[in-house]
Amino acid sequence: MNSLKRLIATLVLITSAALPLYSQDSEVVPQLEASANAALDILYLDRYREYNYEQQQAAVRAILEQNYDLMVLIRRTLGRNWQLMNVEEQMQVTELITQLIVKAYVQGMAGRARPSLEYGAAIQITDQRLEVPSVVMFPDGKTYHVLYRLGRLQSGWQIYDIVAEDISIVSNYRQQFDDHFRKGSGMQLIEKLEQLLEQGVLDAATKL
């Protein structure tokens, strides 16, 4: 895999797109926006100014876990490789990727001015599929276009893919996980994820 950092950097977008599990169709976009602001508040509001990195990560993770089933996206990204791991390995991989997502999100925002977010209207693809376009705009002029793809599950609307700057994280990184599992195992993946978490900083040179 060329760089797990790129996967994490894209996945962190869902941390600010946490969606309550039982949202109705009309609530999808408002809830995306509300959850995004809740995550950003932790990093930018004065009342959280005394939080250290660990406290920020814990607070951001609480928002994610309260509102969103991250396993939906992780399983789709792993694809058939999910079945190559036993239940314990699946749980460990999910936990480690969750920790990496939160860590990368908090570190990635450090030292940057708060971005503004704009969401377009939800586009109904089928009765079971929606797409929500959005734009992330930083004060330094950098702009990112992000498309959320949501499916209606028994638990409600869940994000099953994110297209960032025309790149689908599911299709892009499933191939990279395929490459890992051609020679590697679930335990080897766990070991590499643990090594990444032990690093002080996740940067562009971070590789799996």
Q: How many domains, the chain?
A: 1
The per-residue pLDDT for 80 is 94
What per-residue confidence (pLDDT) applies to 81? 96
Residue 81 counted as domain residue = yes
**Whose structure tokens read 């002080």?**
200
Residue 206 resides in a domain = no
Please check whether residue 204 lies inside any domain of the structure: no
208 assigned to some structural domain: no
| CATH number for the domain harbouring residue 180 | 3.10.450.710
Instruction: Give me the sign of the Cα torsion angle 4, 83, 61, 99.
Output: negative
- Indicate the burial class of 130 (C-beta count within 10 angstroms; 0-12, 13-18, 19 or more): buried
Q: For each of the chain's 208 residues, which pLDDT tens digit applies?
A: 445 555 555 555 555 455 554 456 677 888 888 888 888 999 999 999 899 989 999 998 888 777 667 788 888 889 999 999 999 999 999 999 888 888 888 887 888 899 998 999 999 999 999 999 999 899 999 888 889 898 888 877 888 888 888 888 788 778 888 999 999 999 999 998 898 888 766 554 455 5
10 to 46, 63, 104, 206: CA distances (angstroms): 27, 18, 10, 14
pLDDT at 25: 63
205 domain-assigned: no
Q: Is 156 exposed, middle or buried (0-12, 13-18, 19+ CB in 10 A)?
A: middle
Residue 21 and residue 154 in contact, taking contact as beta carbons nearer than 8 Å:
no
Q: Does some domain include residue 181?
A: yes
Supply the Cα-derived Rg of the chain in whole angstroms: 17
| pLDDT at residue 1, as a whole number | 47
CB burial string 168-200: b at 16+ within 10 A, e below: bbbeebbebbeebbeebebeebbebbeebeeee
> Which residues form the domain of 67?
4-198
pLDDT of residue 19: 55
Which of 108, 111, 131, 133 is CA-nearest to residue 120?
133
C-alpha span between 93 and 88 (Å, rounded): 9
Task: Confirm whether 166 is domain-assigned.
Answer: yes
Model pLDDT, residue 51: 93
Q: Dmax over Cα atoms in the chain, in whole Å?
A: 48
- Tell me the pTM: 0.79
Predicted local confidence at residue 192, as pLDDT: 87
SS3 category, 156: strand
Classify residue 168: in a domain, yes or no. yes
